Structure 1
Amino acid sequence: MSKSKIYKILGVLVLVTIIGGGIWYWQLPNRHKAIVKSFVFEKTGIVNPNWKVQNQSETYRMISPEFYIDGIYKSMEGPKSSKYVKLSRDSSLVWLTGFHVKALDSKSMQYISNDYICHTNVDFNDVNYYTSLHLQKRIGSQYPRMTSLSHGMESFNFPAGYGVPMKGNEYLYVTTQSLNHNLPDADQWIRHEVDIDYSQAKNLKPLMSRTAFIMLPFDKSNPYKSPLDPGTDQCIPVETKNHTYDDGKGNKLSGHWVIPAGKHTYRSPVNSQLQLTDSLRLHAAAIHVHPFATRISLVDKKTNKAIFSSKIVNHKNSTGLTSIEPFSSEEGIWLYKDHNYEIVLDVDNTTQKEQDMMGSMFLFFYDKELDDLLQQDK
């Protein structure tokens, strides 16, 4: 076979590969397109995948790699990056007291709109964490996410005198993801600045995290069929691969669903997530919702009263969350093991098309068992 013929065959193969790859890429959802682009940018050297880290004055600051915003990225679709971090080099106890994230222009490093922030998750290794604190029975009891910041609540602190304790040389796993609801023609490189506040004080009270979120039933045989009564606690999931759960009876539930136009209220029991084996005192809560949510409450069904409600303010002339009211209390509010609790979420979809929604709470309770163990170690 002549060289010219070989070159022609190779050229055709390359062309077919490029065309096939292009068709495959354009059929991907936004989330997976972002993953592919980020991978290519890193491998070709367009983006440095390394984080910039500063650790000073009891604030651990991280600046993410660059994220390229080139179109609309709704919640959980945008470019993201993850990093393992240690707050100190030794095993001395430190107390996590606050979490913060801001968006930066990647060139000027000046702060820009937080509309470019989707969420920042802080996870921990529950095996190492609970073993080091002599609480091995808690291993595997829930997903090991300590907390999450998200659009509308990009910063929160625990009430004075409280924190989450951990050994300083244990790893946290931080993931931060970008967002863009409003600029279809965007062409901007951004970064996220993530701060974790911590203290080495000796007299703080320990908090433990419990995650609770709305899960709504859907038809597992025909998941994208509209419910008979739209806007009720039946739902259409955004997708069935992620954020899909089983109620233990073979029924499917979704934590990420679509909402129709107009005002609606969703309710979901959360006792199984709270795991109340005894009375617990709630001191703080971080909230995660999507645009068009207007209020989220943790409700005691026995008294029919809200433990707390967070008012949510949406942007007036664009899609996005201006603010989410946090819950923080030095005194605390008691939750009881013989009461039933639910999350109630109010939404107002002011558009004429379906929107995606989530409703989650990261709840922080005083941890008496851990406090007793820490007192013994003094």
Structure 2
Amino acid sequence: MTSRAAVALFVAPLLLNVALPGHGATPEKAAAPGSPPDDLQATHAEPELRSLELLLEGFHIDKKYISMEGPQEKMPIKSKLPPDSTVWVRSMAVEMVDAENEAISPEFLCHAWLSYRSPESGGMMTVSQGTESVTLPEGFGFPVPNTADNRVMLIGMIENNNHEVIDQRAAMKYTIGYYSDEDAQRLGLEALKPLNMVARPDAPAVHPGEHHVAGLKSHHWLVPPGRHTYRSPVVRPMFERPGNPLGIGTNTRIHFMRVHLHGYGESVALLDKTTGETVWRGYAKNADGLRQILHSDSYSDVEGVPLHRDHEYELEIVYDNPTDEPIDAMGAFRAFVSGDLVERRNFKRRR
């Protein structure tokens, strides 16, 4: 399996305006009293967000694929980022395109990840069908170390729930907005850590695509025809900590989270069982006549909402299956948190 990369790195250009004496030169204007020199103003100008465009290619859609069964491609991107440094990711958007780089339906997007992994840590920013772009709250960033012992990758997977006969070449066009480490420090950005909160309900059947993600301990199930509500303790994939299943610290706060559902999913809610309160509920809008999520909600807030390690949390997921057959399902929040979060322990084993 091969992938070819197309990359464009955009940095704000420095425009020079030079005129020679006797050739239409305009007399130099005096600076206003108390104004700093132009070179000093440039030195203190606020850093601009950099934009990196990458193309993850090689997808061929030739039949129906339910979630987690479609073609997958990966691409290392260490060489596309500033070497031996940390980049602070603020945003990521993914567009589905064809072999000629023309936009096609987002219904073919299962998920797209920007992922890093080192022997000691790891994390990822993700988008999926219904949420093809994410932007962190103002003043925050997701630090991605691009160092020698780190693996930085793009990972994408296709799905096709609606077309029996199809022959479509496809690619994923990533647009990543980031600051250099130096610029992030100048701006005073606060680091956010990714936290995946996944449901594992007591469902009667297992998603047939489970073997694709069994190593990640992701949780899929089948929903029979009709409307169904599922409740499940919150699970953090690849993390086991009795008494603290999310690895929450003393000052952990959620600043961003987005709904992750499969087609015909209606909503996901984070419930605090200790207080009986709903922390947040997000909804999805489904297409008419197709199994496709058109939009799913996101929560984004500078102040954030606290998580308490001595509280018990669960997810409530609602699906409405209008077909006469079981459908694949998943319910999760892809979140970013500030404060303390216990690291997973098995990065070395999975490297």
* Residues in 2 aligned to 1:269 and 1:281: alpha-carbon distance in whole angstroms: 19
* Residues in 1 aligned to 2:127 and 2:292: alpha-carbon distance in whole angstroms: 15
State the one-letter code of the partner of 1:256.
H
* Residues in 2 aligned to 1:106 and 1:306: alpha-carbon distance in whole angstroms: 45
Shift of 1:174: 1.3
Q: Which residue of 1 aligns with 2:189?
A: 204
The superposition leaves residues 11-57 of structure 1 with CA deviations (integer Å, 9 ceiling, x where unpaired) of xxxxxxxxxxxxxxxxxxxxxxxxxxxx5xx6xxxxxx322222224
* Residues in 2 aligned to 1:277 and 1:165: alpha-carbon distance in whole angstroms: 19
* Residues in 1 aligned to 2:341 and 2:161: alpha-carbon distance in whole angstroms: 44
C-alpha contact 1:97 1:164 (8 A) present in aligned 2: yes
State the one-letter code of the partner of 1:193.
K
* SS of equivalent residue, structure 2 residue 4: coil
Where does 1:137-216 land on structure 2 (aligned, <5 Å)?
139=121, 144-169=122-147, 170-200=150-180, 201-202=184-185, 203-216=188-201
C-alpha contact 2:56 2:154 (8 A) present in aligned 1: no
State the one-letter code of the partner of 2:156.
T
Shift of 1:319: 0.9
* SS of equivalent residue, structure 1 residue 64: strand
- The reply on whether 1:234 has 2:203 as its aligned counterpart is yes
Where does 1:281-320 land on structure 2 (aligned, <5 Å)?
281-320=253-292
Gaps of 5+ in 2: 12-49, 236-243, 343-351
- The reply on whether 1:60 has 2:44 as its aligned counterpart is no
> Aligned match of 1:359 in 316, 324, 331?
331
Higher helix proportion, which one? Answer: 1
* SS of equivalent residue, structure 1 residue 299: strand
C-alpha contact 2:69 2:212 (8 A) present in aligned 1: no
CA RMSD of superposed structures (Å): 2.4
Query: Are the structure 2 counterparts of residues 103 and 369 from structure 1 closer, same or farther at C-alpha, using a change threshold of 3 Å?
Result: closer
State the one-letter code of the partner of 2:173.
E
Shift of 1:106: 1.0
TM-score (structure 1 length as normaliser): 0.70
Query: Are the structure 2 counterparts of residues 88 and 321 from structure 1 closer, same or farther at C-alpha, using a change threshold of 3 Å?
Result: same
C-alpha contact 2:284 2:293 (8 A) present in aligned 1: yes
Query: Are the structure 2 counterparts of residues 150 and 273 from structure 1 closer, same or farther at C-alpha, using a change threshold of 3 Å?
Result: farther
Query: Are the structure 2 counterparts of residues 354 and 288 from structure 1 closer, same or farther at C-alpha, using a change threshold of 3 Å?
Result: same
* SS of equivalent residue, structure 2 residue 263: coil
C-alpha contact 2:248 2:340 (8 A) present in aligned 1: no
* SS of equivalent residue, structure 1 residue 115: helix
* Residues in 1 aligned to 2:170 and 2:71: alpha-carbon distance in whole angstroms: 10
* SS of equivalent residue, structure 2 residue 318: strand
* Residues in 2 aligned to 1:145 and 1:256: alpha-carbon distance in whole angstroms: 21
Shift of 1:289: 1.5
State the one-letter code of the partner of 1:293.
G
State the one-letter code of the partner of 1:236.
A
* Residues in 1 aligned to 2:218 and 2:159: alpha-carbon distance in whole angstroms: 22
**Identity across the alignment (%):** 26
C-alpha contact 1:243 1:256 (8 A) present in aligned 2: no
Q: Which residue of 2 aligns with 1:249?
A: none
Query: Are the structure 2 counterparts of residues 183 and 242 from structure 1 closer, same or farther at C-alpha, using a change threshold of 3 Å?
Result: closer
The superposition leaves residues 281-321 of structure 1 with CA deviations (integer Å, 9 ceiling, x where unpaired) of 11001332111110001111122222111111111121110
C-alpha contact 1:279 1:337 (8 A) present in aligned 2: no
> Aligned match of 2:319 in 347, 350, 367?
347
State the one-letter code of the partner of 2:142.
V
Q: Where do 4+ consecutive residues of structure 1 move more than 6 Å?
A: none
* Residues in 2 aligned to 1:305 and 1:337: alpha-carbon distance in whole angstroms: 16
Q: Which residue of 2 aligns with 1:269?
A: 233
* SS of equivalent residue, structure 1 residue 270: strand
* Residues in 2 aligned to 1:342 and 1:369: alpha-carbon distance in whole angstroms: 18
Shift of 1:368: 6.0
* Residues in 1 aligned to 2:320 and 2:82: alpha-carbon distance in whole angstroms: 48
Q: Which residue of 2 aligns with 1:51?
A: 5
TM-score (structure 2 length as normaliser): 0.75
* SS of equivalent residue, structure 1 residue 274: coil
State the one-letter code of the partner of 1:105.
D
State the one-letter code of the partner of 2:192.
L
* SS of equivalent residue, structure 1 residue 183: coil
C-alpha contact 2:115 2:124 (8 A) present in aligned 1: yes
- The reply on whether 1:256 has 2:220 as its aligned counterpart is yes
The alignment covers a number of residue pairs equal to: 287
> Aligned match of 1:96 in 84, 89, 102?
89
Shift of 1:92: 3.5
* Residues in 2 aligned to 1:51 and 1:355: alpha-carbon distance in whole angstroms: 35
* Residues in 2 aligned to 1:279 and 1:180: alpha-carbon distance in whole angstroms: 41
